[in-house]
A = this chain, B = another copy of it.
Amino acid sequence: MWASGAQTVHLVLDPLTDLTAPRDNSHDLLMSRSGGGWWRLNVPDATPGTDYAYSIDGGRPLPDPRSQWQPYGIHGPSRTLDHSEFVWTDQAWQPPPLSAAVLYEIHVGTFTPHGTFESAIQKLDHLVQLGVTHIELMPVAEFPGERGWGYDGVDLFAPHHAYGGPEGLKRFVDVCHSRDIAVLLDVVYNHLGPDGNYLSAFGPYFTERYHTPWGQAVNLDGPGSMEVRRFLCDNARSWLRDYHLDGLRLDAIHAIFDSSAVHFLEQLANEIYDLETEAGRHFDLIAENDLNDPRVVTSKEAGGYGLDAQWNDDFHHALHSVLTGEQIGYYSDFGKLEDLAASLKNVYVYGGRYSEYRKRIQGRHVCDLPAHRFVGFLQNHDQVGNRARGDRASQLLSIRMLKIGATLVLCAPFVPLLFQGEEFGADTPFLYFTDHRDPALAAAVSKGRREEFASFGWNPEEIPDPQDRCSFESSKLEWGQIEQHPHDDILHWYRCMIVLRRSHPALQDGSLDRLDVDYSESDSWLTLYRQSIAVVCNLSGERLSLSLRFAGEPVLASDPNFKMQGNVVEMPAETVLIIEQTAKRAVS
């Protein structure tokens, strides 16, 4: 174990569950220095399943920063684990490429009533039928309490005990692979949660050189940073190697500050690339990035970091604000069909433009990158959960408009991502919820949430309290809805759209050169052309007659009451129609 500033380190075997309780330290085992801040001890008795902790300079026992398993939560002892004990059945598994992917984001705790990996397995039939190729798990690394989004995790190597721990995650991944579904995991390397964060006792994991909105910035370029980078890279490797995950979603990389000549993300991409050779499988690294910086997904040879993809928030914001008419907060930078068209064609709306909301120039123009380096979505945990009352697009939009939104996500050139329940228009919210046990922290979280939305004019009493167990419970999907109207209708549309995408190479084409968009701001229609496919959207409240670039055959319509004559189509209000140019006409 690494504790670079320690004078002595003791291993505490089988500590009390409450590490703060008074105890007899006479059996603590003194560890030996091993160079570079590392400490070693060979403990033949410590078989898999042994509980342990570390005492730094005679202090009270602390969990292992690299703990594989925290059966009692963030404040309890760590437990040893032998990864070779799990019997994997996925030897033949190879994940599909992102270019052919449909991603589906899951929060384990609310995806099913039980909120465990095991119960999530029961829903794989549904995902297979839907056509999902990749599940993306929200963070599972041990975080405070029994429920939470997971972005304040502190034991980065330990799958959360309430979800089913290491064994549960392995079984989930193994079964997913047997159903031809890849599994990605959301990991948070920009900060660690405040509660249960004992890392500073071990070494210089954090720095004061930079500030993040959520806590101390991680030390990636100061003294001691080599081992901090090692810690995070080893964490990424562990998820992929020991848990057979197929890739990682890297949370908020714009808050990963590193001025080293080799950026942490580039090092990570290099190491994961090497791991691919070792494992014989491909891994995907997908970044969340608020900077609209194509360098992240540019190849290393071209001076980039070489990640596989990044989330395209601009596409979401443009689509959401066009569909809902919302213009508050960051949506104030969007709202026009021009923006939506720009994001479909150029990836970013703000690719080097001044943003009124940000009061600065945002982003950089995307040149010569395939659209599959970007993930597109109508909803995700943040876009739903960061609303005061966690309402989904299905609460904000008519079903007619919702179908247009789904169609644009699934016909866009980006890798589509759905958020759990989106496919059937779940009317359960996805609220912000936490389970902090520290009273001061709990109160601060509740107060912070109220104040955040008060600034947008909300009555504080209307804001669900994150600490209230109901916020968690009410966020659980109600699977009974799936058979009910209108959820069945929405689900049918999503299924059709995914079939359409996966069966038409034109819709999975990643070349932005072969994509065109026509639109009319005043008449409120937009047509997306993807080679021989036209996706015609009437976003207005009125029946419209539109001219297309070509004549063709209707493939799918959200409302059958349309008319076509040559390249003119007449469509009811708030409908979408997909037309395929016939081969004959294309030739003529």
Residues on A facing B (Cβ under 8 Å): 208-211, 221-226, 229, 254, 257, 259-262, 291-295, 298, 302-304, 352, 354, 358-364
Contacts and interface: CB of A to CB of B under 8 A. Distances in A.
Task: Give the residue among A358, A361, A363 with the most B Cβ atoms within 10 A.
Answer: A361
Task: Give the residue among A257, A262, A298 with the most B Cβ atoms within 10 A.
Answer: A262
A413 to B, nearest CB: 20
Given A225-B361, A260-B293, A303-B303, 16 more contacts: A208-B211, A209-B210, A221-B360, A223-B360, A224-B359, A224-B360, A226-B354, A226-B359, A229-B361, A261-B291, A261-B295, A262-B352, A262-B364, A295-B303, A302-B302, A302-B303
A259 B257 contact: yes
Nearest to A304: B303
A292 B223 contact: no
A141 to B, nearest CB: 25
A-B pairs, top 8 by smallest CB distance, nearest first, are A303-B303, A261-B364, A223-B359, A261-B293, A225-B360, A261-B363, A226-B361, A262-B364
A361 B262 contact: yes
B259 A254 contact: yes
Nearest to A360: B225
Query: Chain A contact residues: over half helix, strand or loop, or mixed?
Result: loop
Contacts of A229: 361
28 contacts: A208-B211, A209-B210, A209-B211, A210-B257, A221-B360, A222-B360, A223-B359, A223-B360, A224-B359, A224-B360, A226-B359, A226-B361, A229-B361, A257-B259, A260-B291, A260-B293, A260-B360, A261-B291, A261-B293, A261-B294, A261-B295, A261-B352, A261-B362, A261-B364, A262-B352, A295-B303, A298-B303, A303-B304
A545 to B, nearest CB: 41
A223 B358 contact: yes
Contacts of A352: 261-262
A502 to B, nearest CB: 32
A221 B211 CA distance: 13
Nearest to A258: B259
A254 B260 CA distance: 9
A361 B260 contact: yes
A538 to B, nearest CB: 35
A488 to B, nearest CB: 43
B360 A226 contact: yes
A260 to B, nearest CB: 7
A135 to B, nearest CB: 30
A461 to B, nearest CB: 32
Contacts of A259: 254, 257, 291
A560 B360 CA distance: 65
A359 B211 CA distance: 22
Contacts of A360: 221-226, 260
Nearest to A221: B360
A208 B208 CA distance: 11
